[in-house]
Amino acid sequence: MDRARDLLKAEPWLPTPLLQSSVAGPRLGIDLWLKREDVTPVGSFKLRGGLVAMALRAGDDLSAGVYGASAGNYGLAIAEAGRLAGVNVTIVVPEGANPSKVERTRATGASVIEHGADFDTAKAHARVLAEDVGAAFWEDGVIEEMALGASSIGFELIDSGIDWDWVLVPVGNGSLIKGIASAFRARSPATKIIGLVSTGAPVMAAAIAGEHFDPELGTKTEADGLDVRVPIMEISREIGELVDGIWLVPEEMLIPAVRSLMDLEQVMAEPSAAITLAACVEHRQELAGATVALIITGAHLRSSLLETVANSKGLQI
């Protein structure tokens, strides 16, 4: 974890802003802080891990390039890190992926292939393509560097000098919460780390809890960063040993949460990030009076959702 911090310390955009909520927090009776990972150069926290991966794997044979699969943010981060390192990157995304994330990924010079109805289908295809050409396949959640990069978020929160009671973390493939939880377990073990999963894509909650789940069960969520159908069991088990709980947040609260962040905090966040505010509203009694950090993971709100957000009434805060 310390090595990741050393690799990232020269980045001029770090640490990302940590801003106290001016409206939502006081209304909820929570000392609420927003960790603004949406303002990185690629609009999400994933760049931390992407840069760490390119640095620590610089000695690998990457002549055939790096392949990965993504719903958007991971692919963009690896593509940008590859651009900076001079490594060719190919990202496979599901058909219908967030257009802004796809275009930003292509703008780095990376190749983008659209394949399959969901992220897990795209990932299986990316693995085959990488094997066919002898390229490296970097799977988010599996390559340790993504969690190492995410751990730097935890250390920035700890180094802020604020005594955190709770940290609420969206859960996709799991590298974010694994990294943040590892940092807090090392330096601030009393802080409660809670993972957030949408009811529209609930399998990560079951996998982390060690419960049965059906990997063939479809998902239906606007939070593309949390849209996991096939969990990575190894990292799920690791997360289960690190966190204090997983909260299932109603899918129907996500778009209102996006609207509330815009109206109350002037933050345009994607649904995968807005789940943090939805969780605060859902658990407001449990969190009352506590000092709570929300990881605002990304800013890529797909334009097709703007009308839906505009017509939403927001959360009851």
Query: How do residues 34-90 score in pLDDT, each as one tens digit?
Result: 999 999 999 999 999 999 999 999 999 999 999 999 978 999 999 999 999 999 999
- The closest of 313, 306, 302, 310 to 97, measured between CA atoms, is 302
Tell me the two tokens of residue 59.
Answer: 């000695």
The Cα–Cα gap between 162 and 195 comes to 20
The Cα–Cα gap between 131 and 129 comes to 5
> Which has the minimum average pLDDT: 1-10, 25-34, 73-82, 301-310?
1-10
Asked whether residue 215 carries a pLDDT value surpassing 90, the answer given is no
Asked whether residue 242 carries a pLDDT value surpassing 70, the answer given is yes
Residue 5 pLDDT class (50, 70, 90 cuts) = confident
Backbone angles phi, psi at 66, to 5 degrees: -120, 130
Residue 1 pLDDT class (50, 70, 90 cuts) = low
Strand ranges for 145-214 from DSSP E: 166-170, 192-198
Query: How do residues 153-196 score in pLDDT, each as one tens digit?
Result: 999 999 999 999 999 999 999 999 999 999 999 999 999 999 99
- Give the torsion through C-alpha atoms of 266, 96, 129, 55, to 10 deg: -10
The Cα–Cα gap between 163 and 115 comes to 45
What is the predicted pLDDT for the residue at 99?
87
Name all domains of the chain by residue range, CATH numbers in brackets: 2-44+144-310 (3.40.50.1100), 46-137 (3.40.50.1100)
More confident residue, 130 or 99: 130
Q: Which residues of 121-130 are buried (b: 16+ CB within 10 A; e: fewer)?
A: bbbebbbebb
The H-or-E segment that residue 295 falls in is strand 291-296
